Amino acid sequence: MKVNVGATLTFAGVGAFFGFLLAVFAYGPYENQLFAYGIYVGLIIGAVLGLRADEEWEFRTSAVSFVLGAVVTLALALWWANRGINATFANVMLGIVLGTSLFIKPTNFTDALLSPATYLGGASAVLLLLKDYGPLQSVEHGVTAILIVTGSAMALTFFGALGRWGFEKFRNFGKKGK
């Protein structure tokens, strides 16, 4: 059986995204922190579904966004925990996110549309992994700053992927004979 890596990473990211939504909306009424582990449950269910996906499910940008969300969040958390919050480093990471989103060609509109959700899925999985990491918790507004950068990166991922998809889709628009 051939593994469709793009579908596996994309479905894992979407599953983690839905787990994040469950954690956000269920925490308020029930005040139970166990709902946060829905991120991991969603990630695992999504990965299993992605493993079972056919070859026709091609995802490129959203799969890279999932990995990028995890790597950028981990880099920001470790950097800020050891060296303090640095806006220059955050801007460099956002530039990497935008550059990657513009460089990787989405396979279709759905691939571009799922990119921000998978980015948040990767970022939320790493944040849950680091929830008890003492040095990050001791940095004033460290987690808040990471969430703000994550929101900005989600917007950049969405517009970068959608822009690249639009440029590829309508490249020959208005040319005679096409």
CA proximity to 44, closest of 80, 19, 78: 19
The predicted pLDDT at position 170 comes to 86
Domain span at 30:
5-169
pTM exceeds 0.95, yes or no: no
With a cut of 70, say whether residue 9 has pLDDT above it.
yes
Q: Write down the pLDDT at residue 178.
A: 52
**17-32 mean pLDDT:** 84
Q: Binning pLDDT at 50, 70 and 90, where does residue 104 land?
A: very high
Does 45 fall in a domain? yes
Q: In this predicted model, what pLDDT tens digit does every residue of 110-168 receive, in sequence order?
A: 999 999 999 999 999 999 998 888 887 777 777 788 889 999 999 999 999 999 999 88
26 within domain boundaries: yes
With respect to residue 174, please indicate whether it lies within any of the assigned structural domains: no
87-103 vs 142-169: helix crossing angle, rounded to 10: 20
Distance CA 80, CA 61 (A): 27
pLDDT top residue among 28 and 124: 124
Q: Which of 73, 70, 51, 68 is CA-nearest to residue 6?
A: 51
**Structure confidence by residue, pLDDT tens digits, 50-88:** 998 887 888 999 999 999 999 999 999 998 888 888 889
What average pLDDT does the structure give for the chain? 89
- Residue pair 161/110 in contact (Cβ under 8 Å)? The answer is no
How far is Cα 169 from Cα 90, in angstroms, rounded to an integer?
32
CA 153 vs. chain centroid, Å, equals 8
Domain total in the chain? 1
Residue 98 falls inside a structural domain: yes
